[in-house]
């Protein structure tokens, strides 16, 4: 019996700088090329390559996790023109059950930059489909990735882990939606073009508003952000912002330079011109950009960073609770796959055993017909049915017991013993593949701590 191991070797936002991730980011044609090289080797028997902007992972099945991962890294390094030792310094390697658990965590968004995000599941599904098309997978990975995708779908549909805002910028967008409903026909203004404002602008752009206007002191930065999100840029001046307050549905400010960008007087004049049309003002700056004396009213909804951080804190607590539920789903998925693996060590022997029983029945039936040629077709069918019943009854308990013992212990020798007792062919007993769960050999990057939920 040949023993093989499942492994994953890769780089992610947790272990590798963006400059390196950019160099090894693979397009579809490049992934196909790598899969072909892995498929044609004897070192990696089955493989799937996952390549996104934040990670490159090669899932493999082979006689040695260490040899398979080294070959996979060498293949990528050669293709990307990167030193293999440099890749290895930033790579993580996981084997067996840890590799399967890691894959399911990735599919559920627990290993993503945005904790709980859902896009990665589709990317893993596409990666598996590509490997399938290239003939790079076999029975083990076909079962494994179906289980991975199933667990990822459960996490999305049975929990809310990917649906709550866990950043101030995103919470601001969600709060605007809560007040105004869908933002598709709304006019949005973002004041600032720094990191926080940029995040907010991207989140607003995802809602496909009617218009998205970016104000900033440096017009070039406003133009760069506007080009990215499909908006318009304006230089920041009091007159322009005052005019925007009249027409906008949502105004978000993220300058934080200690001077009020939106004053009480500006808002008062805008509200007169708006004639009761609701306005949402979101101040995510510290120090605040919006005069705190601006009062909320029936048509004015004003929120500052403290309000939004309260939303984020509550959502983070909820995500932690949801993570526990997802973790339970992952462990269930790992157990189901492990059980399937254990069954595969027994199934060939059981199939061979039934074939041996049926062959004996055919031989006995042929001998009986030679001795009793006068038997009618009906008589033959009745005798055949009862003889097969004897075979199945004789095998039922041994088969049931060997399956249970193998599953409970994970020891394939029970199936070996059964095969030997019934005198099955040596190839049935020895020329089979068994997937081992093993200890994980660690690259240095394995020690990188998991970042906080954000």
Closest CA to 200 of 216, 219, 185: 216
Whole-angstrom Cα distance, residue 229 to residue 185? 16
Binding residues for NADP(+): 192-197
What local confidence, expressed as pLDDT, does residue 134 receive?
Answer: 96
What local confidence, expressed as pLDDT, does residue 213 receive?
Answer: 97
What local confidence, expressed as pLDDT, does residue 417 receive?
Answer: 73
What local confidence, expressed as pLDDT, does residue 433 receive?
Answer: 59
What local confidence, expressed as pLDDT, does residue 308 receive?
Answer: 84
| pLDDT, tens digit (0-9, with 9 covering 90-100), for 345-354 | 677 777 778 8
Where does the chain hold its CATH 3.30.460.30 domain(s)? Answer: 2-158+439-447
Active site residue 53: yes
| pLDDT, tens digit (0-9, with 9 covering 90-100), for 133-147 | 999 999 999 999 999
Q: Which two tokens stand for residue 196?
A: 């926080």
Q: How would DSSP label each residue in 89-100?
A: HT-EEEETHHHH
Catalytic pick from 3, 18, 22, 53?
53
Least confident of 277-281, 307-311, 329-333: 307-311
Task: Place 312 in a pLDDT band, splitting at 50, 70 and 90.
Answer: confident
Residue with tokens 């004396």, as numbered in its chain: 293
What local confidence, expressed as pLDDT, does residue 352 receive?
Answer: 79
Mean pLDDT of all residues belonging to the chain: 86
Task: Place 306 in a pLDDT band, splitting at 50, 70 and 90.
Answer: confident
Q: Give the H/E segment covering residue 408.
A: helix 377-409
The shares of helix, strand and coil residues in the chain, as percent rounded to the nearest 5, are 60, 15, 30
| pLDDT, tens digit (0-9, with 9 covering 90-100), for 254-293 | 998 889 999 999 999 999 999 999 999 999 998 899 999 9
User: Is 50 exceeded by the pLDDT of residue 448?
Assistant: no
User: Is 90 exceeded by the pLDDT of residue 324?
Assistant: no
| CA distances for 158 relative to 65, 113, 152, 329, 393, angstroms | 34, 22, 10, 10, 43
Q: Does the domain made of 168-310 have the CATH classification 3.90.1150.10?
A: no
Binding residues for substrate: 52-55, 112, 117-119, 123
What local confidence, expressed as pLDDT, does residue 254 receive?
Answer: 94
Residue 70's Cβ-count burial label (10 Å; 0-12, 13-18, 19+) is middle
Average pLDDT rounded to a whole number, residues 424-435: 58
What local confidence, expressed as pLDDT, does residue 454 receive?
Answer: 30
**Residues 6 or more apart from 239 whose CB is under 8 A from it?**
none
| CA distances for 17 relative to 14, 123, 411, angstroms | 8, 21, 43
DSSP bridge partners of 138: none
Average pLDDT rounded to a whole number, residues 326-344: 90
Average pLDDT rounded to a whole number, residues 155-161: 86
Closest CA to 255 of 210, 305, 206, 211: 305
Buried-state track 163-196, b at ≥16 Cβ within 10 A, e below 16: ebbbbbbbbbbbbbbeebeebeebbbbbbbbeeb
What local confidence, expressed as pLDDT, does residue 408 receive?
Answer: 64
Q: Which CATH number fits domain 2-158+439-447: 3.30.460.30, 3.40.1360.10, 3.10.20.90, 2.40.128.20?
A: 3.30.460.30
User: Is 50 exceeded by the pLDDT of residue 440?
Assistant: no
User: Is 60 exceeded by the pLDDT of residue 320?
Assistant: yes
């Amino acid at each position: 019996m040949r023993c093989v191991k499942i492994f994953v070797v890769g780089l992610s936002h947790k272990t590798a700088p963006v400059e390196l991730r950019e160099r090894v980011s693979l397009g579809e044609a490049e992934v196909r090329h790598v899969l072909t090289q892995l498929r044609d080797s004897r070192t990696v028997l089955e493989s799937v390559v996952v390549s996104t902007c934040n990670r490159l992972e090669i899932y493999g099945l082979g006689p040695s996790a260490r040899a398979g991962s080294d070959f996979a890294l060498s293949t990528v390094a050669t293709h990307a023109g990167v030193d293999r030792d440099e890749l290895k310094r930033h790579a993580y390697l996981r084997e067996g059950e840890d590799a399967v658990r890691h894959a399911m965590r990735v599919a559920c968004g627990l290993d993503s930059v945005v904790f709980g995000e859902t896009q990665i599941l589709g990317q893993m599904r596409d990666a598996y489909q590509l490997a399938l098309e290239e003939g790079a997978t076999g029975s083990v990975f076909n079962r494994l990735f179906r289980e991975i995708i199933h667990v990822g779908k459960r996490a999305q549909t049975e929990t809310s882990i990917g649906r709550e805002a866990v950043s101030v910028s995103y919470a601001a967008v969600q709060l605007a939606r809560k007040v105004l409903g869908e933002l598709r026909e709304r006019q949005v203004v973002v004041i600032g073009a720094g990191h926080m404002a940029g995040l907010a602008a991207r989140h607003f752009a995802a809602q496909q508003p009617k218009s998205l206007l970016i104000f900033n002191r440096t017009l070039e930065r406003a133009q760069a952000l506007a080009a990215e999100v499909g908006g318009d840029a304006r230089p920041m001046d009091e007159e322009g912002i005052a005019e925007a307050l009249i027409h906008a549905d949502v105004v978000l400010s993220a300058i934080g330079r200690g001077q009020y960008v939106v004053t009480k007087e500006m808002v008062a004049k805008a509200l007169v011109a708006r004639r009761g049309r609701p306005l949402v003002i979101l101040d995510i700056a510290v120090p605040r950009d919006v005069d705190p004396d601006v009062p909320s009213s029936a048509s004015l909804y004003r929120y500052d960073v403290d309000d939004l951080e309260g939303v984020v804190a509550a959502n983070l607590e909820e995500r932690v609770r949801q993570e526990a539920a997802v973790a339970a789903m992952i462990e269930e998925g790992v157990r189901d796959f492990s059980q399937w693996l254990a069954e595969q060590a027994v199934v060939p022997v059981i199939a061979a055993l039934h074939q041996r029983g049926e062959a004996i029945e055919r031989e006995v039936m042929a001998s009986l017909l030679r001795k009793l040629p006068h038997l009618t077709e009906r008589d033959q069918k009745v005798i055949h049915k009862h003889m097969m019943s004897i075979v199945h009854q004789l095998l039922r308990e041994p088969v049931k017991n060997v399956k249970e013992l193998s599953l409970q212990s994970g020891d394939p020798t029970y199936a070996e013993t059964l095969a030997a007792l019934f005198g099955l062919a040596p190839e049935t007993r020895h020329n089979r593949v068994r997937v081992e769960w093993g200890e994980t050999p660690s690259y240095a990057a394995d020690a990188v701590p998991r970042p906080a939920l954000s």
